[in-house]
Chains A and B, each alone.
Chain A
Amino acid sequence: MAVSSETLETVRSVTGGEYKYGFVTDIESDFAPRGLNEDIVRFISAKKEEPDWLLQWRLKAYRFWTGLEHEEPKWSKVQHPPIDFQDAYYYAAPKEAKDGPKSLDEVDPELLRTYEKLGIPLREQEVLAGVAVDAVFDSISVATTYKEKLAELGIVFCPFSEAVKEHPDLVQKYLGSVVPYSDNFYATLNSAVFSDGSFVYIPPGVRCPMELSTYFRINAANTGQFERTLIIADRDSYVSYLEGCTAPMRDENQLHAAVVELVTHDNAEIKYATIQNWYPGDKDGKGGIYNFVTKRGACRGRNSKISWTQVETGSAITWKYPSVILQGDNSIGEFYSVAVTNNYQQADTGTKMIHIGKNTKSRIISKGISAGHGQNTYRGLVRMLGKAEGARNYTQCDSLLIGDRCGAHTVPYIECKNRSAIVEHEATTSKISEDQLFYCRQRGLGEEDAVALVVNGFCREVLQQLPMEFAVEAQKLVGISLEGSVG
Chain B
Amino acid sequence: MLEIKNLHASVDGKAILKGLDLSIGAGEVHALMGPNGSGKSTLAYVMTGRDGYRVTEGEIVYKGRDLLAMSPEERAGEGLFLAFQYPVEIPGVPNTTFLKESLNAVRKYRGEEVLDAMQFVKLARRRMKELGVSEDLLKRPLNVGFSGGEKKRNEVLQMAVLEPTLAVLDETDSGLDIDALKAVADGVNALRSPERSTLIITHYQRLLDYIVPDKVHVLAGGRIVRSGDKELARELEKTGYAAFTGEAA
Contacts and interface: CB of A to CB of B under 8 A. Distances in A.
Given A443-B105, A445-B102, A458 B91 contact: yes
A444 B88 CA distance: 15
A466 to B, nearest CB: 15
A439 interface: yes
Contacts of B158: 443
A461 B94 CA distance: 12
B51 A444 contact: no
Contacts of A454: 90, 93
B73 interface: yes
Contacts of A443: 76, 98, 101-102, 105-106, 158, 162
Interface residues of B, number: 31
Contacts of B105: 443-446, 449
A267 B93 CA distance: 35
Contact of A441 (B72, B81, B84): B72
A171 B217 CA distance: 81
B109 interface: yes
A437 to B, nearest CB: 9
A444 B141 contact: no
Interface residues of A, number: 23
Interface in A430-448: 433-436, 438-447
A460 interface: yes
B51 to A, nearest CB: 7
B93 A439 contact: no
Contact of B90 (A439, A442, A444, A446): A439
A335 B81 CA distance: 42
A439 B84 contact: yes
A310 to B, nearest CB: 18
B226 interface: no
A179 interface: no
B27 to A, nearest CB: 23
Contacts of B98: 440, 443, 453
A457 interface: yes
Given A457-B91, A457-B92, A458-B92, A446 B84 contact: no
A485 interface: no
A446 B88 contact: no
A441 B71 contact: yes
Interface in B138-167: 141-142, 158, 162
B72 A453 contact: no
B51 A445 contact: no
A461 B92 contact: yes
Interface in B68-99: 71-73, 75-77, 81-82, 84, 87-88, 90-93, 97-98
A390 B151 CA distance: 43
A456 interface: yes
A459 interface: yes
Contacts of A446: 73, 105
Nearest to A454: B90
A441 B101 CA distance: 11
B84 A444 contact: no
Contacts of A433: 88
Given A435-B88, A449-B101, A444 B93 contact: no
Centre residue among A440, A447, A458, A461 by max chain B CB count within 10 A: A440
A230 to B, nearest CB: 35
Contacts of B142: 457
A199 B100 CA distance: 42
B50 interface: yes
A434 B49 CA distance: 13
Interface of B: 48-51, 71-73, 75-77, 81-82, 84, 87-88, 90-93, 97-98, 101-103, 105-106, 109, 141-142, 158, 162
Given A442-B81, A444-B162, 15 more contacts: A439-B84, A442-B75, A443-B106, A444-B77, A444-B109, A445-B73, A446-B73, A449-B105, A453-B93, A457-B90, A457-B91, A457-B93, A458-B91, A458-B92, A460-B92
Interface of A: 433-436, 438-447, 449, 453-454, 456-461
Would you list the 3 A-B pairs with minimal beta carbon distance, nearest first? A457-B92, A457-B93, A460-B92
28 contacts: A434-B51, A435-B88, A438-B88, A439-B90, A440-B98, A441-B73, A442-B72, A442-B73, A442-B76, A442-B82, A443-B76, A443-B101, A443-B102, A443-B105, A444-B77, A444-B102, A444-B103, A444-B106, A444-B109, A446-B105, A453-B93, A454-B90, A454-B93, A456-B92, A456-B93, A457-B141, A459-B92, A461-B92
